Amino acid sequence: MRSSKSDNSKKSRKQGKRLEQEAIPKQNVRIVSVWVFVALFLVSGATSLIYETIWARQLHLALGASQMAICAVLASFMGGLALGAFLAGRWADQFKRPLLVYAILEALIGVYALLFPAALKIAITVYSGFWVSMSPGPTLFTFVQFLILAILLLPPTVCMGATLPLLVRFASARSSNTGTVVGRLYGANTLGAVIGTGLAGFVLLPGFGMSATTKIACSANIVVALAALLLGWRAWIFTKPVSSDAEESVPSQRRGLITLGIIAGIAGFCGLVYELAWFRLMTLVLGGSAYAFSIMLLAFLLGIGIGGWLGGVLADRLYARGQRLGVVRGLVVLQLGVALLSWASMYVYDELPVAFMSLYTALEGHREWFLHTQLLLALVLMLPPALLMGATFPCLVRAAITDEDKLNRPVGQLYGINTVGAVFGALAGGLILLPWLHVRGAMLVGVSLNAVAAFVAFQSLAKSSEKKNPMRSLLGGGVIAMAILAMHLYPPPWNPLLMGMGAFDNVTKFDNHTREGLMEEIEKYELIWYDEGPSAVVTVGKDKTFDTIWMANNGKIDASNSPADM
pLDDT tens readout for residues 125-178 = 888 888 888 878 777 877 787 788 778 888 999 999 888 888 776 666 545 577
CA angle 130, 136, 137 (to 5 degrees): 145
- Asked whether residue 305 falls in the same domain as residue 437, the answer is yes
pLDDT above 70 covers what percent of the chain? 81
**In the structure, what pLDDT confidence band is assigned to residue 518 with cuts at 50, 70 and 90?**
confident
In terms of domains, do 322 and 346 share one?
Answer: yes
Give φ, ψ of 355 to 5 degrees. -65, -40
Residue 15 lies in a domain: no
pLDDT beyond 90 at 479: no
Does 485 lie in the same domain as 512?
no
- pLDDT for the residue 136: 81
Torsion angle (degrees, nearest 10) of CA 388, 180, 424, 303: 40
Decide: 252 and 406 in contact? Cβ < 8 Å: no
Environment class of 102 (CB within 10 Å of its CB; exposed 0-12, middle 13-18, buried 19+): buried
Same domain, 425 and 509: no
Per-residue pLDDT averaged across 174-198, rounded?
Answer: 80
| 168 and 300, same domain (yes or no) | no
Beta-bridge mates of residue 543: 525
Model pLDDT for residues 378-405, shown as the tens digit of each residue: 888 999 999 999 999 999 988 887 544 5
Residue 512 to residue 506: CA distance in whole angstroms: 11
Q: Is the pLDDT of residue 448 over 90?
A: yes
SS3 of 85-142: the string is: HHHHHHHHHHCCCHHHHHHHHHHHHHHHHHHHHHHHHHHHHHHHHHHHHHCCCHHHHH
Q: Does residue 272 surpass a pLDDT of 70?
A: yes
Average pLDDT over residues 273-302: 84
pLDDT of residue 152: 87
Nearest to 540 by CA among 531, 526, 550, 532: 550
Instruction: Tell me: do 182 and 259 sit in the same domain.
Output: no
Side chain identity at residue 82, one-letter code? A
Handedness of CA 85, 87, 90, 92 (dihedral sign): negative
CATH code for position 485: 1.20.1250
Listed residue (239, 184, 164, 176) closest to 34, CA to CA: 184
Mean pLDDT of 351-365: 81
Q: Are residues 315 and 210 in the same domain?
A: no
Q: Let me know: does 150 contact 82? Beta carbons within 8 Å.
A: no
Which pLDDT score, from 0 to 100, does residue 386 have? 95
Q: Are residues 497 and 525 in contact, defined by beta-carbon separation less than 8 angstroms?
A: yes
Does residue 273 sit in the same domain as residue 220? no
Q: Please work out, in degrees rounded to the nearest 5, the angle formed at the alpha carbon of residue 123 by the alpha carbons of 121 and 127.
A: 120
pLDDT at position 482, please?
85
In a domain, 11, yes or no: no
Three-state secondary structure of 506-542 = HCCCCCCCCHHHHHHHHCCEEEEEEEECCCCEEEEEE
Identify whether 452 is part of a domain: yes
198 found inside a domain:
yes
Confidence category of residue 28, pLDDT binned at 50, 70, 90: very low
**What CATH number does residue 31 fall under?**
1.20.1250.20
303/233 same-domain check: no
Count of CB atoms within 10 A of residue 186's CB? 29
pLDDT-derived band at 299 (thresholds 50, 70, 90) equals confident
**Are 427 and 529 in a shared domain?**
no
In this structure, the answer to whether residues 368 and 450 fall within a common structural domain is yes
Task: Give the residue numbers spanning the domain of 33.
Answer: 26-240
In a domain? residue 20: no
Bridge partner residues of 529 (DSSP): 540
Single-letter amino acid code for the residue at 362: A
For 100-129, write each residue's pLDDT tens digit: 888 899 999 999 999 999 998 888 888 888
Order of all β-strands in the sheet with 525-532: 525-532, 537-543, 549-553, 556-560
Residue 252's pLDDT is 53
Q: What is the pLDDT of residue 3?
A: 53
User: Could you give the C-alpha distances from 249 to 328, 400, 502, in angstroms and in order?
Assistant: 19, 11, 57
Q: What is the pLDDT of residue 253?
A: 56
Cα–Cα distance for residue pair 360/363, rounded to 1 Å: 5
Q: Are 119 and 152 spatial neighbours (Cβ–Cβ below 8 Å)?
A: yes
Find all residues with CB under 8 Å of 110, minimum gap 6, and list them: 47, 217, 218, 219, 220, 221, 222, 225
pLDDT value for 40: 84
- Report whether pLDDT(450) > 90: yes
Asked if 535 contacts 279 with a C-beta cutoff of 8 angstroms, the reply is: no
CA dihedral (473, 479, 484, 485) positive or negative: positive
Please check the confidence at residue 21 and state whether its pLDDT lies above 50: no
How many structural domains compose the chain?
3
The model's pTM: 0.82
60-73: average pLDDT: 64
| 457 and 513 belong to one structural domain | no
Query: Looking at residue 472, what is its pLDDT?
Result: 67
> Strand runs (DSSP E) across 445-496, as ranges?
none
